[in-house]
Structure 1
Amino acid sequence: MSQPIHVDLPHTLGREEAKRRIAANLHKLQNHIPGGAEVSSDWAGDRLDMTIAAMGQAVDAQLGVEDRFVRVNIVLPGLLGMFAKPIEAALRAKGSDLLLEDKR
């Protein structure tokens, strides 16, 4: 059974700057997943659709970029659902740092 996660990451960057920073930092996701991961992504307007493949599992995620927050929606398949609470906690604690950090 799949387990959805929904997290809003607040920011003060504005929509376009938040999108730019997410695009610039997307490669970091691979380093934060044990054993590494393959991340495929595609922008559709202000929404980033992603598939993260690791350890034989594929996880679908969407990031909706708004003026004052990024809405993260992830669906964990099968047994990965057991990790929903720790993943949600990590997103709340470090998601903004990972996705919106400025490295210019």
Structure 2
Amino acid sequence: MTKPVLVTIPHSLGREEAIRRLKSGLGSASASLPVLKIDEETWTDNRLAFRFTALGQTAEGTADVEDDSVRIEVLLPWFLQKVAEVVQSTIKSRAQILLEKK
């Protein structure tokens, strides 16, 4: 069984504003990464369940938005496990951009 990729991003926006930014920014985040396509996103309260395709492989995960952080967990297929560090840093940098205090 593969080990999930975990990313925690602190923020100072509060839960509602963080959710608003993530909802509005997911489409533009995937548009800026041509190798990644978000296939599905479902919000239930403060939890996002998502599925995406990258390099021809499908992966899924969740993002839990709290008052001061976002915890993202992604299950990668074996092929993408080989580039897990790149995936992890990409997720973290894109989410940080969306959550920067403006």
Q: Report the residue type matching 1:12 in the other structure.
A: S
Normalising by structure 1, we get a TM-score of: 0.83
Normalising by structure 2, we get a TM-score of: 0.84
Identity %: 33
Compute the RMSD of aligned alpha carbons.
2.1
Whether the 8 Å CA contact 1:3–1:77 is kept in 2: the answer is: no
Distance 1:91 1:14, change over 3 A: same
Q: Does 1:90 align with 2:99?
A: no
Whether the 8 Å CA contact 2:11–2:100 is kept in 1: the answer is: no
State the SS of the aligned residue for 1:72. Answer: strand
Whether the 8 Å CA contact 1:21–1:102 is kept in 2: the answer is: no
Give the CA deviation at 1:102.
7.5
Distance 1:9 1:76, change over 3 A: same
Match of 2:40 in 1: 40
Report how many aligned residue pairs link the two structures: 102
Match of 2:61 in 1: 61
Q: Which runs of 5+ in 1 are unaligned?
A: none
